[in-house]
């Protein structure tokens, strides 16, 4: 079973056939990113377009999902020395891009890195890149997307 968030509301998909039927109306885009934890038990978060988020971005041609995840975290936050960990469940959400319906699957990974200064990628509308104490992430998730809240709630803290 997977959940696809359409208009921020979950749609439960219970079979491969049901997923294939759902996707016929969408162009599928793949992205990858990470939940990054530092050596002080803080989580890396970004603030983009009024929402708290985890760094992620679109997969480039020829790239593996894990390569995309590390590259995007580096580009969006300036973070270096990232250690890639185990994969996390993918998230799915829909949106429109210039009138075209899109289904985005984001492949997530656990990551770690030493605490360091961060630089938000403002060209991507990221206004902040910050280390958040793990105990404070839940409050930030109240200003996030339902698919990311689900991801965070299932993350082993």
CATH of residue 110: 3.90.79.10
The string of pLDDT tens digits covering residues 14-57 is: 999 999 999 999 999 999 999 999 999 999 999 999 999 999 99
Domain count, the chain: 1
Q: What was the pLDDT predicted at 135?
A: 96
Query: What residues make up the domain containing 102?
Result: 2-153
User: pTM of the prediction?
Assistant: 0.94
Mean of per-residue pLDDT scores for the chain = 96
User: What is the arithmetic mean of pLDDT over 81-86?
Assistant: 98
Q: What was the pLDDT predicted at 16?
A: 95
pLDDT over 70 percentage in the chain: 99
Q: What was the pLDDT predicted at 95?
A: 95
Q: What was the pLDDT predicted at 105?
A: 98
Position 113 pLDDT exceeds 90: yes
Q: What was the pLDDT predicted at 156?
A: 84
Q: What was the pLDDT predicted at 137?
A: 98
User: What is the arithmetic mean of pLDDT over 96-113?
Assistant: 97
Helix (H, G, I), strand (E, B) or coil at 73: helix
Task: Report DSSP letters for 111-143, one per residue.
Answer: EE---------GGGTEEEEEEEEGGGHHHHHTT
Whole-Å CA distances, 39 to 35, 46, 109, 130:
13, 18, 17, 14
Position 157 pLDDT exceeds 90: no
Distance CA 70, CA 51 (A): 21
């Amino acid at each position: 079973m997977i959940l696809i968030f359409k208009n921020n509301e979950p749609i439960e998909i219970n079979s491969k056939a049901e997923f294939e039927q759902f996707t016929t109306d969408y162009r599928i885009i793949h992205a990858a990113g990470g939940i990054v934890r530092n050596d002080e038990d803080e989580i890396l978060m970004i603030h983009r377009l009024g929402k708290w988020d985890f760094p992620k971005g679109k997969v480039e041609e020829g790239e593996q999902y894990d390569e995309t995840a590390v590259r995007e975290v580096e580009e969006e936050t300036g973070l270096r020395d990232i250690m890639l960990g185990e994969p996390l469940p993918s998230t799915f959400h829909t949106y429109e891009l210039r009138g075209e319906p899109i289904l985005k699957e984001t492949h997530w990974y656990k990551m770690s890195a030493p605490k360091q200064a961060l630089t938000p990628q403002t060209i991507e509308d990221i206004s902040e890149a910050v280390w958040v104490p793990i105990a404070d992430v839940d409050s930030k998730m109240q200003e996030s997307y339902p698919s990311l809240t689900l991801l965070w709630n299932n993350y082993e803290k």
